Homo-oligomer: A and B are copies of this chain.
Amino acid sequence: MPLTMNKDVFITCAVTGSGSTQDRSPHVPRSPQQIAESAIDAAKAGAAVVHCHVRDPESGTPSRDLAYYREVTERIRDADVDVVLNLTAGMGGDITFGSTEAPFPVNEAGTDMVGAAERVAHIADCLPEICTLDCGTMNFAEADYVMTNTPGMLRAMGQMMTDLGVKPEIEAFDTGHLWFAKELVKEGVLDSPALVQLCMGVPWGAPDDLNTFMAMVNNVPDDWTFSAFALGRNQMAYVAASVLAGGNVRVGLEDNLWLEKGVLATNAQLVERAVGIIEGMGAKIIGPDQVRENLGLTKQAPR
């Protein structure tokens, strides 16, 4: 009944994402080398986990190229700092429709819908300790695009992750996604206890007001581990919110480009800022080994 604040907090740095942010800040890393270096800097600043997407090194547009994932993975495993690797498996579930009067045929440029095996191929190849599973379908952010992950697709991808021994981090963008995550655990597709990221303030998913956040937190099973973040300008506020509610935190350039008004951030700076808030609140930052022990993860050796 007293405050269930988390006193042993891990920080995930979401290094680059797949938004079209690469031209809005010089700090958004594009090439595998840049992504790995930014992740390593974040780890040195205090992140126990780095969550990575890959991009085309030239244009910076999001990519699913296996070679890029491999290079990021190897560079991070070879680094002189230890960190838990978390790769996205969110790519390959995007639809943009033709127009409001003619939805089909879909807009090819904005559509990337592939099968489960292809969506998980880089996970099978790289074997990160964690990979994400976007646990539902919704209108995603300002663009008129649909993030599409049907129940059938989630069962297929989730089972592949479980079979690979890679821990899925469930991304819950609204209350219904968390509900379905519990269904996946109930069906045995995902192991229990599960790991969930509460993704707040992503249009048009759950807004980041505290009533909605607490409704989600109250629905996370007691033995699961959760983390939370808010998209955009409330990123640092949610560092505090998640710790207060008993969770871990995620910061990074995937979700927010700014250190403060007018000042573009690096990933390391965002992690440092989070460390300051967390320690100021009286909690401790835990490192990658503690995270592995808590979540039952096995570190892969560098090749």
Contact = CB atoms under 8 A, between A and B. Distances in A.
A288 B24 CA distance: 38
Contact of A239 (B136, B145, B206, B281): B281
A104 B100 contact: no
Given A2-B234, A4-B209, A137-B137, A203 B179 contact: yes
A150 B156 contact: no
Interface string A193-210: 000000001011111111
Interface string A1-32: 11111000000000000000000000000000
Given A2-B208, A2-B209, A215-B211, A240 B137 contact: no
A176 interface: yes
Contacts of A277: 240, 276-277, 280-281
Interface in A192-237: 201, 203-212, 214-215, 217-219, 230, 233-234, 236-237
Contact of A151 (B104, B139, B206): B139
Contacts of A116: 100-101
Contacts of A296: none
Nearest to A272: B280
B97 A182 contact: no
The listed residue with most B CB atoms (<10 A of its CB), out of A137, A176, A233, is: A176
Contacts of A1: 178-179, 182, 207, 209, 219
A117 interface: yes
Contact of A100 (B102, B156, B206): B156
Interface residues of A, number: 77
A174 interface: yes
Given A137-B137, A139-B137, A219-B212, A151 B204 contact: yes
Contact of A234 (B5, B101, B144, B180): B5
B100 A245 contact: no
B207 A211 contact: no
Contacts of A201: 2-3
Contacts of A281: 236-237, 239-240, 277
A243 interface: yes
A121 interface: no
Given A103-B113, A280-B280, A207 B233 contact: no
Contacts of A132: none
Contacts of A173: 176
A217 B210 CA distance: 10
Contacts of A237: 3, 5, 240, 243-244, 281-282
A114 interface: yes
A248 interface: no
Contacts of A4: 209-210
Given A137-B138, A179-B207, 7 more contacts: A1-B182, A3-B230, A176-B203, A176-B206, A210-B217, A211-B214, A234-B282
